[in-house]
Structure 1
Amino acid sequence: MSDVVRIGSRASKLAKTQVTEWLTPLAQQLPGVRFKREIILEGGDQDRVTPTLAEVAKTAGGSAFSTNQEAALVTGRVDVIVHSLKDLPTTVTEGTALLTTPGPREDVRDVLCGATLDDLPQGARVGTGAPRRVAQLLALRPDLRVVPIRGNVPGRLARAKGSLDAVVLAAAGLRRLGLMPEVHEVLDPLVFPPSPGQGALGIQVRTDSPAARLLKGTGDPQVDACVRAERALLAELHGGCSVPVGAWGRVESDGLLHLSAAVTSLDGTTQVTGVGCGSVEDPEKLGACVAEDLLAQGAAGILAAIRKP
């Protein structure tokens, strides 16, 4: 009898596409394994009421896009969860672990759909539900009126053709859905650093499960080092996946792991940035080092002000 691995994911087309992206090469590596998919609805999928940006930013830890999936994993309903890694808190649920991150990583950058940043008129309405994107937008264009939006990628994209002048989305999701022709501008990740883990998949398993043993050794160590540095920085700042922290890790031609990061106040008026490089063998050390630099510049005060009641 062949091994059976039950895979959980969210219900969106993007989530299903990400499962296929992960499974396609894996099925060739493990021909004797049968994979079964299961859809798990999250609070963020069911709740159609858009919270204010301040409410989202005060949530440090936990996620509206991972909680139910992790519960299904812990209780044995499924054996593996395929996440968008940027949606997963830095503290992984007890009894579970992340496998080595799969590669290649999709495009880490954010994009504007509807207009370019320079072409947006004074006071333009730009949609995004992410505090980080709000903060970084206002740091570059304080005149903009940012409108909280949520929902799946096609729904948010449609807002740029309706009530809004533009929306900010992740290039990774648009590429996976074949929607890159809708992009008006790709934002420079050195100026507009993405969410830690953006563009990468997070493969979560129970530590004591047969699936964990079966899938051990899969993944891309270089991609894994990049996202581990980003997530280590976020953890050092005691930030959840809904705070205005951007981080971009990449291995450059010198063979070293480079990390750029920024913490920005929600109104965009204050921003601290940090850069560093180190060995791919110890990405957590690099993440902690850059985080310490940000803290020395006042990052803790920025984040504390956001979380005040």
Structure 2
Amino acid sequence: MLREHTARLPAGAVGRGAVTGTLRLGTRASLLATTQSQHVADAVAAASGRSVELVPITSEGDVLTGPLAQMGGTGVFATALRDALLRGECDFLVHSMKDLPTAPYPGIVVGAVPVRASRRDILHSRDGLDLDELPAGARIGTGSPRRVAQVRARRPDLVVDGIRGNVDSRLRKVADGQYDAIVLAEAGLRRIGRDAAITQVLDWPTSAAQGALAVEVRDGDTAVAEAVALIEDGPTAHAAHLERAVLRRLEAGCAAPVAIDAVHLGDVVTLVAHVYAEDGSRSVVAERRLDPHADLDAVAAEVVAELLEGGAADLADLAGTSR
């Protein structure tokens, strides 16, 4: 099974040519969300010949404060968008794929996964110091349990605290001294032109589907599915769906420190999955080299079995409700 909850098009649907009519793309109003959405809108317009307009939608996660894990996880941002799509207020959506719960959402399917941006994390530090150069006791900000565990594994002498807010507000918290450094996704920074804020590109594995975008459509909406399917990138979609298949099998909630990377290297896919203890003191890893045509669910089942046999369930909460 190549793709999770994926739109099914009639034979010969893709590539029929331009279709008239403006498509409405629902998006959160943040700079990163609108930038990502506009990038996809431009790509869909160029590929399909249809004009695309952005429709701003406010989610509960945009107006509430507090840790994401206590608000229901990163899926809190997706719910309002999905509900608006089902109500017909827009025709399709764009999400950072790593933020989507892996459980199916009734009435909605993934219509396309475009070319992936960088999957890496970066460090932004006020004094230009790399992670290994920061002084003992330096305060690091991140909202990701996985990043917390990885920082603590590398530097147990640092203080790691939670942080919320958009990219620019987090950068300001470093500039004004609330944090000595923060860890963010490289893709988000580069998409909004904040390349200069990158102090160090970190070499550890990252979250399932990080750097990838998911384009969602209403199940059965063939005309829209046909338009967005034109921007699908096969290797990106395969890798992202494989990573999320492992995450889904792990039943890892938003509070679970899990990293999963699948990389296409010619005719071979290399898959690496890590589960960390929250304090970074231990981790369990499973690795595979596989054919790109291997069954994703079967591979995910094998990898998860190996992780659990290695004690992954003793390290992290793998029975989360937001998945």
Q: Normalising by the residue count of structure 1, what TM-score does the alignment of the two structures yield?
A: 0.90
Q: Which of 74, 79, 87 is 2:86 aligned to?
A: 74
CA–CA separation in structure 1 for the residues paired with 2:141 and 2:280: 16
> Using a 3 Å threshold, how does the CA distance of structure 1 residues 305 and 203 change in structure 2: closer, same or farther?
closer
Matches within 5 A, 1:136-147: 136-147=150-161
Asked if the contact 1:11/1:40 (under 8 Å) is kept, the reply is: yes
- For structure 1, the residue ranges without an aligned partner over 5 or more in a row are none
CA–CA separation in structure 2 for the residues paired with 1:9 and 1:109: 24
> Using a 3 Å threshold, how does the CA distance of structure 1 residues 136 and 175 change in structure 2: closer, same or farther?
same
Asked if the contact 1:62/1:240 (under 8 Å) is kept, the reply is: no
- RMSD, aligned CA: 2.1
Q: Report what 2:52 is aligned to.
A: 35
**1:50 lines up with 2:53 in the alignment:** no
Runs of 4+ in 1 over 6 A off after TM superposition: 305-308
Q: Which of 187, 199, 202 is 1:172 aligned to?
A: 187
CA–CA separation in structure 1 for the residues paired with 2:34 and 2:276: 33
- For structure 2, the residue ranges without an aligned partner over 5 or more in a row are 1-18
**1:14 lines up with 2:14 in the alignment:** no
CA–CA separation in structure 2 for the residues paired with 1:305 and 1:123: 30
- State the Cα distance separating 1:80 from its structure 2 match: 0.5
- State the Cα distance separating 1:228 from its structure 2 match: 0.8
Asked if the contact 2:120/2:187 (under 8 Å) is kept, the reply is: yes
**1:195 lines up with 2:211 in the alignment:** no
Q: Which amino acid aligns with 1:97?
A: V
> Using a 3 Å threshold, how does the CA distance of structure 1 residues 185 and 20 change in structure 2: closer, same or farther?
same
**1:290 lines up with 2:290 in the alignment:** no
Q: Percent identity?
A: 38
**1:274 lines up with 2:286 in the alignment:** yes
Matches within 5 A, 1:1-309: 2-31=20-49, 33-47=50-64, 49-51=65-67, 56=69, 59=72, 63-103=75-115, 105-114=116-125, 115-161=129-175, 162-188=177-203, 192-209=204-221, 210-253=223-266, 255-281=267-293, 282-304=295-317
- State the Cα distance separating 1:216 from its structure 2 match: 3.4
Asked if the contact 1:258/1:278 (under 8 Å) is kept, the reply is: yes
Q: Which amino acid aligns with 2:32?
A: L
What whole-Å deviation, never above 9, does each CA across 1:115-166 have from its counterpart, x for those lacking one? 3111111111000111111111111111111111111001111222222110
Secondary structure in structure 2 of the residue aligned to 1:3:
coil
The size of the alignment, in residue pairs, is 297
Secondary structure in structure 1 of the residue aligned to 2:172:
helix
Secondary structure in structure 1 of the residue aligned to 2:76:
coil
